[in-house]
Amino acid sequence: MSDDRAETNNKKDDVTTSRRDFLKNIGIAGASTLMAGSASAGVPADSPDPDAESTAAEWLQGHFVLMSEEDKKEAINRLEKRYTAKYDKKTTVANTPPLEGVLFGYALNIGKCIGCRRCVHACVQENNQSRTNPVIHWIQVMKIPKGNFAFTADKLNDGYPKSSAFGDYGVQVGGNAYAPVGGLATEHAQSYYSADEMVPDKDYFYVPVQCQQCEKPPCVKACPVRATFRDPNGVVVIDYNWCIGCRMCQLACPYQARRFNWGEPNLPPEEMNPKTHYFGNRPRMRGVMEKCTFCVQRTREGRNPACLEACPVGARKFGNLLDPESDVRKILATKKVFRFKEEMSTYPKFFYYIG
């Protein structure tokens, strides 16, 4: 944190730069003492510990979108250096810009999904989630009963209120067909079915749920600092360095798609994926929110998301909603498509279909 760098920053007219400088003027030493746990002692201006210095600089970093190009480059270099040292492998943190003329959409065939949870673990492999304590999965697979109507005909008169304390009315108003019948009624869903189970179970069907990338995301509305926002490709992303961990977005999300780093994430270096994106799968820190980004580090470079590639039955389809030739658009045109919890008017770009 030398003075000359502060000078170069002063030349720029960017708003956030001046914010940063303001904070710098408060003094790095004072600022870093504020940091909980991460930098235990005050870091003097020319600290011998490079990690502490980069932590301090990261702490002072503004909202990434509002930073100047130069500051972004600096922030990314800082991260690459830190990750490379921490995980002992050459790590790249991309800042690939959003694509022109692309609106990402996802379609999932619940008629085909077998509930094998490979997508869940593919996502974990790709996106550097915490493996233990907390265990973080961005995808949750619901197992929903198809319904059981095995009651016999003599019970057809069962129901409520066949008769009451005030007498038998003789007019039937109830029935007994109370079996849950699939659909997306989540009240009978099982999310913790065992790994020893063979799937698919013929009496159930399976619905994987991940971030639905809503067009009108309640989480973005709820975030007090705009750390989460919708990018021009329609994907809701998070600036992990700007998130304050208040979990209002988690409270707002009707899909339970957001996951919180309750503790310091545990990511074994040998399993770490070194190809990362600033808004995507770069290793997170304690106390910030994370969620599916449609593998922003892959999709902005043209490749399919990891969950799609793992699906052994081809139930997952991804593409550009603005391209009529894309898989997703063709599915929207020819199949029976619906959105999950449509009544929430979130307008997801994640579609479920049958057929």
- Least CB distance from residue 8 to other proteins, whole Å? 21
Task: Output the CA–CA distances (angstroms, integers) from residue 298 to 59, 229, 294, in the order listed.
Answer: 27, 19, 8
Q: Which amino acid type is present at position 195?
A: A
Nearer to other proteins, 168 or 313 (CB): 313
Nearer to other proteins, 168 or 353 (CB): 353
Nearer to other proteins, 47 or 126 (CB): 126
Cis-peptide into 161, omega within 30 deg: yes
Nearer to other proteins, 168 or 330 (CB): 330
- Least CB distance from residue 271 to other proteins, whole Å? 7
- Least CB distance from residue 215 to other proteins, whole Å? 15
Burial class (CB in 10 A: 0-12, 13-18, 19+), 195: exposed
- Least CB distance from residue 315 to other proteins, whole Å? 9
Nearer to other proteins, 44 or 134 (CB): 134
Q: Which helix (H) or strand (E) holds 208?
A: strand 204-209
d(CA 93, CA 227): 18
Nearer to other proteins, 1 or 253 (CB): 253
CB-based contact 282:240 (threshold 8 Å): yes
- Least CB distance from residue 251 to other proteins, whole Å? 5
CB-based contact 251:71 (threshold 8 Å): no
Backbone Cα Rg of the chain: 25
- Least CB distance from residue 36 to other proteins, whole Å? 5
d(CA 144, CA 147): 9
- Least CB distance from residue 227 to other proteins, whole Å? 8
Of residues 160, 180, 156, the one with CA closest to residue 169: 160
Nearer to other proteins, 47 or 130 (CB): 130
Nearer to other proteins, 57 or 189 (CB): 189
User: What are the tokens at 259?
Assistant: 């996951």
Q: Which amino acid type is present at position 280?
A: G
Nearer to other proteins, 1 or 138 (CB): 138
- Least CB distance from residue 47 to other proteins, whole Å? 18
- Least CB distance from residue 94 to other proteins, whole Å? 12
The size of the chain, in residues, is 355
Q: Which helix (H) or strand (E) holds 220?
A: helix 218-222
Of residues 27, 59, 11, the one with CA closest to residue 241: 59
Taking residue 319's Cβ as centre, other Cβ atoms within 10 Å add up to 22
d(CA 169, CA 255): 44
d(CA 288, CA 291): 10
